[in-house]
Amino acid sequence: MALYKLEDFAGNYGDADFDSHEIRDFDVYSDIDDDKVGTVKHILVDDSGHFRYLVVDTGFWFFGRQVLLPIGRSQISYSNRRVYAIGLTKEQVKNLPDFNDLEHVDYDYEEQVRGVYRTPVRQAPLNTSTPVETSTPLDAPPVSRDRNTYTYEDEPNLYDMNQQNHQNLKLYEERLVANKSRVKAGEVSIGKHVENQTARVSVPVEKERVIIERTTPNEGGRTVSSAEADFRKGEVTRMDIYEETPDIQKEAVLREEVKIKKVVEQDTVEAEDTVRREELDVNTNDERLHERRS
C-alpha cells in the first residue's frame, strides 16, 4: 500500500479536506494531560487519496524525531489550531520507529507503528473525567496480519475519520471544465513550376526596292549637237537597297505577386455531459433544528 505526502499527491482524493484548513504546522497535544507533543509536518494519503497518517515532529518530547500518528487517533480543533493525539503517551512515542523518508515506509514499518498503537492505554478524554479504553474492542473482528490481505479498513480505530473527532462534512459536485488544445488540422503547401507555351509577336519591317521608269521627253526627236551628245561606253549607275530584318529576343518580366497569410476564425463548440451533485439529507424529529446556509 503506497503512501504519498498530500502536497505531492496528484489527482482527486476521496476524503474531506479538513474543512479547507491547512493543518500542517498545527500544534500536536496529548489528550491525556494536554501536554504539547510537537507539530504536524506532513499528511500522508494512500493511493486512493484517503488520509492515513499525520507526520508529527516530536520536538517537545524527543528533539529531532518525526513519527507517524494514524488519522483515527487524531482529534482536530480548528478554533485553537491544535491536533489532539488520542491516548498518546511518551512511552508510545519512544517505541515508535523514526519517520525519515517515505521510501522506507513499507508493510513491516507500518506494522511497527500499528503495534505501538494497538497497545492498550487508558486516558481521560477532553472535557470529561472518566477514563476510557482506547485499545481495540474485545468484540472487534480479528485483524488480518497477512501482508497480502491487510487493508486499512481492518482497523477503523486507527484509520477512520470518525464523526466525533472529524465533524466537518463536505458536499461535493462535479462540473464540466473546458480546456483547449492546439492540434494540427492540415497543411497548405504553395510552390511554383515552369510551363512552356508558344508566344507570337508581330514586327513591321521595311524593305527597299528599285523601280526603273523609262519615259520619252517632250523634246524627243530634237537634234542635239555633238558636244551635248556625250557617248560614254561602260557608264554604270549604282544604288544601295536596304531592308529591315526582325530581331526577336526573350526577356523576363514580373507578371504577378502572391501574398500568403493566415487568419483566425472564431467558432463556439458546445458539449454536454452528466454531472453529479451531493445534497444534504437531514433526518431528525426535533422541530427546533433549522438549517442555516451561509
The pLDDT value given to residue 213 = 87
The pLDDT value given to residue 122 = 47
The pLDDT value given to residue 165 = 58
Are 116 and 32 spatial neighbours (Cβ–Cβ below 8 Å)? no
pLDDT digits (tens, 9 = 90+) for 120-157: 544 444 443 333 344 444 345 556 677 888 888 888 88
Q: What percent of the chain has pLDDT over 70?
A: 78
Average pLDDT over the chain reads: 79
In our burial notation (b when 16+ CB lie closer than 10 A, e otherwise), range 160-179 reads bbeeebbeeeeeeeeeeeee
The pLDDT value given to residue 98 = 93
Say whether pLDDT at 18 is over 80.
no
The pLDDT value given to residue 129 = 37
The amino acid occupying position 14 is G
Grid cell of 218 as nine digits: 517632250
Average pLDDT over residues 30-57: 89
φ/ψ (deg, to 5) at 283:
-115, 115
Average pLDDT over residues 24-44: 90
pLDDT digits (tens, 9 = 90+) for 198-220: 988 898 999 989 898 888 888 77
Say whether pLDDT at 70 is over 90.
yes
Closest by Cα among 3, 19, 118 to 77: 19
Please indicate whether residue 16 or residue 102 has the higher confidence score (pLDDT).
102
Say whether pLDDT at 175 is over 70.
yes
φ/ψ (deg, to 5) at 113:
-65, -50
63 bridge partner residues: none
The pLDDT value given to residue 131 = 39
The pLDDT value given to residue 38 = 92
- Span of 92-101, 135-144, 220-229 with lowest mean pLDDT: 135-144
Grid cell of 78 as nine digits: 480548528
The pLDDT value given to residue 77 = 86
The pLDDT value given to residue 164 = 57
Beta strands, E only, 143-257: none
Please indicate whether residue 264 or residue 164 has the higher confidence score (pLDDT).
264
This model's pTM is above 0.75: no
Closest by Cα among 82, 87, 77 to 27: 82
